[in-house]
Amino acid sequence: MIELRHITKVFNRGQVNEVTALQDINLSIAEGEFVVLIGSNGSGKTTLLNAMAGAILPSEGQILMKGEDVTQLPEHKRSRWVARVFQNPLGGTAPDLSILDNFRLAALRTQPKRLVIGINAAFRATVRDKIAGLGLGLENKLQQPIGSLSGGQRQALTLLMSVMDHTDLLLLDEPTAALDPKSAEVVMQTAERIIQEYRLTTVLITHNLQDAHRFGNRLIQMAGGQITRDLDAAAKARLRVEEMYAWFG
Amino acid sequence: MKIFRIPDITTDGSYTLGAVVTALLLTRGWPLPAIIVATMAAGAMAGILTGLVHTRLKIDALLAGILVMTGLYSVNLSALGRSNVPLLDVTSVFTALSIFEEQVLNELWVGLLFLSVLASLLAFLLRTDFGLAMRATGNSESMTRALGINNDHMKIIGLAIANALTALSGFLVAQYQRFTDINMGIGIVLVGLGSVLIGDALIGWLGIRSIWLQLVFVMVGCILFQMVLAVTLSLGIDPALLKLITALFVLTIVGIPRLLGRHAP
């Protein structure tokens, strides 16, 4: 699905505060894989995710999406393949726009936004049905500004928005970090349900090792801008959560 | 009813630009529809220029606007040839479209005609998929980028539309007051800003969601703003103080929510 070849990212090159955030990363993620990415702060996980999304362009190396070279494509062009959920619930939604408006834009992620009124009765019904599936009681609040909802509700909706249009790669950057435990559980369950239902190729960054243990079928640990561990489904299944805590000594 | 969070000062220049283009073409006998197109195109160019300076050169939007506005002053003055051109012996839009005996009624009707056409077009635009993308751009840039929207293009198009409309108001005002003056645009951005803020306050209080009604309330805000200025002048205050009063009034609108400790608009 996505292949990273010799990806290196250097911030502030040639200055005193030069940082090598990614160092010669080679990574290939197959279709249907659910990769959990862990690592301490500053290990390069978020930079790696941003490089996949196109939010930052690599200093060196090549990125292929379904065999197509996308190395130089900015984020808004990579949206053809990639859907994102941000750590900050504010990041993935437009707060002053209604739930329905937000979903309309999400439904056009891979398409041009034309001069036509796209929100009609059929679209409204589709969105209502999808949101009803969340079980959060939001299906009757479609006209409400999305900013009036709680962080957990917004993250759950953002997840749902990511499958309103065709998605090849779903990137989740600590989607529950800003949430209370109960909301976090709702969001992670929603994520798991959507990923299974749509067979999404997914990369999840998390600091929660319980979540890292429980979800996904591949586990990657990063440190100092490099991949230090890469466990496949079988190895990950054998892994005990205590062993993971030991990695962070 | 704020689309972007850009305080676009190009307004001061494009308002005069609209009036200048109107004066030049009207005195040369161009047909009114062509003048409207030319005026709006000129305004749009000014907006595109500010948008390009802001997005391509990553210059702060406020400074980008100041740069273009300052440049436009010379453009306007050279184009006009002198600082003031009267428009007395021409067929203005108000005489061409007159249906009443009384001139003041014609001014009202032409104004209402323009307002309803523009409001209809804007209400449609803002409800389309493109309009949603534009509104979202001013709201959450990380979201719009992730949803395949080119924020830079959106800002440039938005500034082009805004300044085309500003130039069109220069077109109307020049013919209404029957002259174009090089200084008529000074501080006009505050009039726009004050009107939108009053409109926004009303929209917030009344919890209005419909785009149509929101546009109506921005117009109500504009009328309230002008009425405050008119009442102040009618109290016998020196007209030279009008700009000062405008500034203080907008300061009051912006400042009161902050003084009350509420979230600033």
**Which domains does chain A show, CATH number per domain?**
2-247 (3.40.50.300)
Distance of CA B140 to the CA centre of its chain: 24
Interface test with A, best of B121, B125, B132, B149 (most A CBs within 10 A): B132
pLDDT band at residue A210, thresholds of 50, 70 and 90? Answer: very high
What is residue A245's three-state secondary structure? helix
ipTM for the complex shown: 0.91
Is residue A108 within 8 Å of residue A152, measured between CB atoms? no
As given in the structure block, the two tokens for residue B179 are 């002259």
Beta strands in A14-150 (DSSP E): 19-29, 34-39, 60-65, 68-69, 82-85
H helix or E strand, kind and range, residue B134: helix B129-137
Q: Give the pLDDT score at B239.
A: 83
Residues of B in contact with A92 (CB under 8 A): 140, 142-143, 146
**A77 neighbourhood in chain B, CB within 8 Å:** 148
Q: Express each pLDDT in A82-95 by its tens digit.
A: 999 999 988 999 99
From the number of C-beta atoms within 10 Å of its C-beta (0-12, 13-18, 19+), residue A72 rates as exposed
User: What is the rounded distance in angstroms from the CA atom of residue A177 to the CA atom of residue B59?
Assistant: 34
Give the separation between CA B133 and CA B154, rounded to whole angstroms.
Answer: 8
Per-residue confidence in pLDDT tens, chain B, 265 aa? 788 988 899 999 999 999 999 999 999 999 999 999 999 999 999 999 999 999 999 999 999 999 999 999 999 999 999 999 999 999 999 999 999 999 899 999 999 999 999 999 999 999 999 999 999 999 999 999 999 999 999 999 999 999 999 999 999 999 999 999 999 999 999 999 999 999 998 998 898 889 999 999 999 999 999 998 899 889 888 888 888 988 998 898 888 878 886 554 4
Contacts across the A-B interface (CB distance below 8 Å)? 96
Angle at the Cα of B57 from the Cα atoms of B168 and A49, rounded to 5 degrees: 115
In angstroms, the separation between the Cα of residue B192 and the nearest Cα of chain A is 21
Tokens of A208: 């929660």
Q: CA A79 to CA A170: how far, in whole Å?
A: 10
Nearest CB neighbour to A114, from listed B124, B129, B209: B129
Extents of the domains making up chain B: 1-180, 187-265
Contact between A84 and A171 under an 8 Å Cβ cutoff? The reply is yes
Best B128, B129, B137, B212 member to test A by mutation, with max A CBs in 10 Å, is B129
Q: What is the per-residue burial (b if ≥16 Cβ within 10 Å, else e) of A118-154? A: bbeeeeeeebbebbeebebebbebbeebbbebebbbb
The C-alpha atoms of residue A13 and residue A59 are separated, in whole angstroms, by: 10
